[in-house]
Amino acid sequence: MIRFRKHEFVFTADVRMMCIQILIHPDQRDLQRIVWKEGPDQPTKAYQLNTITYGTTSAPYLATRTLNQLAMDEKDTFPDASIIVQSDCYMDDILTGSNSLENTKELQTQLVQLLGTGVMTLHKWCSNNESLLNSIQNSGDYQFNNPAEMKPVKTLDISRIYDPLGLIGPVVSKAKIFMQRLWLLKLGWDEPLPEDVTRAFVSLLPCIEQLEIPRHFPSDNTVIIHGFADASTAAYGAAIYV
């Protein structure tokens, strides 16, 4: 995801139903048996699952390993896409691009063809360039939007703030410290929050929605990294600046 920010022209895509596109070896399928009844009075039936079962412990590894093997098998035919599959995949999502529009188009074409050899298709395309995608949300910035249906006064569901790169870590940390204060109040799940506590939390949310961070940062071959870490009685954290 960090490499994704280095490209001027980018696109993302999702491997459609990746797990169920991958067959399990016949010798292992008996380990994926389930029992099912159509109704209380119906007989119990046994079924055998022939593909990777989403949610099992081994599913992420098996799916990723299969994609990597497919990329290695097809590297002579699709050299650029092979590298992308092995380096720019985040589970079943592909996040990639380049600083040349033509190169990015070639990557897109190769990826579709490479995954097609494994009977896999890509969907949920997004891009920052109209020639890569017919209809997109053309934005060069990250913007953090608090879900409209979120009820912070009642649920305070901080985990729903999606920030995989930790770009708004300071804000999230402040919200978590706020949650620590709530535990000390020993309120029940259905008890309303005190008015002063409610105002303090709600005041955090507009800060998130107003924050925009440029997605693209040009870089050359020289990269300098500065790291900082600190801790207090309430929290600890680290920050790395590139």
Domain holding 97: CATH number? 3.30.70.270
Q: Average pLDDT, stretch 193-212?
A: 76
Q: Which residue has the tokens 């990329």?
A: 71
Q: Are residues 131 and 179 in the same domain?
A: no
Token pair belonging to 127: 């891009």
Torsion of CA 211, 96, 162, 173, to 10 degrees: -70
Output the pLDDT for position 150.
38
Q: Are residues 111 and 178 in the same domain?
A: no
Instruction: Identify whether 70 is part of a domain.
Output: yes
Beta bridge mates, 112: none
Q: Are residues 187 and 97 in the same domain?
A: no
Instruction: Identify whether 46 is part of a domain.
Output: no
Q: Average pLDDT, stretch 172-179?
A: 81
List, for residues 28-65, the tens digit of each pLDDT value. Answer: 999 999 999 999 899 999 999 999 998 899 999 999 99
Q: Are residues 132 and 169 in the same domain?
A: no
Instruction: Identify whether 34 is part of a domain.
Output: no
The domain tally of the chain equals 2
Q: Are residues 96 and 165 in the same domain?
A: no
- Residue ranges making up the domain that contains 112: 2-20+57-138
